[in-house]
Amino acid sequence: MPARAKKQLLTFEDFPAGRVLDLGVKHVTEKEVLAFAWTYDPQPFHLDRLEGERSILGGLAASGWHTCAMLMRMIFDAFIKDTAGEGSPGLESLRWKRPVLVGDTLSGHGKVMEARLSQSRPGMGIARIVYELHNQRGETVIIWDCTHFFKTRAAVEGILPSAAARS
């Protein structure tokens, strides 16, 4: 039986400044909103449709933290699963612009704002990506400004210069 070819991972070089990354589509269900809320954010407007309608949210709304979790899953499915990713040091900013309601359909993109090689870690690049999700009406629901670490192609291929050669 022939050996399967190993899939080529996306590396730092695949994330130049200006690149736009499509995040696909996510439909928000009542079941998942309730499950997340009961477990992590049991406020009435996340647990009860009537309470949600009476609140400033205007309906049964996903927790902002659930919105973050959905965005993270969309990012993972769209491209992170196929990268030589090394994690993230965190977010520069996070803004919940509008509530995410049961029945909403989310879509969005990430735009690489900056990309640079690490000064202290050869073989690693740093990309700042700003993500935006919109609902089916085109309204922005979240903006997430995040820094990612990715291995460089040379690091993935094992052809980094030695420490002596870098001096």
Q: What is the per-residue pLDDT across 22-45, written as a single tens digit (0 to 9) for each?
A: 999 999 999 999 999 999 999 999
**pLDDT category of residue 165 using cuts at 50, 70 and 90:** very low
- The Cα–Cα gap between 130 and 107 comes to 14
Tell me whether residue 167 is exposed, middle or buried, using C-beta atoms within 10 angstroms of its C-beta: 0 to 12, 13 to 18, 19 or more. Answer: exposed
**DSSP states along 55-79:** STT-SSB--HHHHHHHHHHHHHHHT
- Assess whether pLDDT exceeds 70 at residue 2: no
pLDDT > 60? residue 101: yes
Q: Would you say the pTM of this structure is higher than 0.85?
A: yes
pLDDT over threshold 70, residue 163: no
Structure tokens given for 1: 């039986």
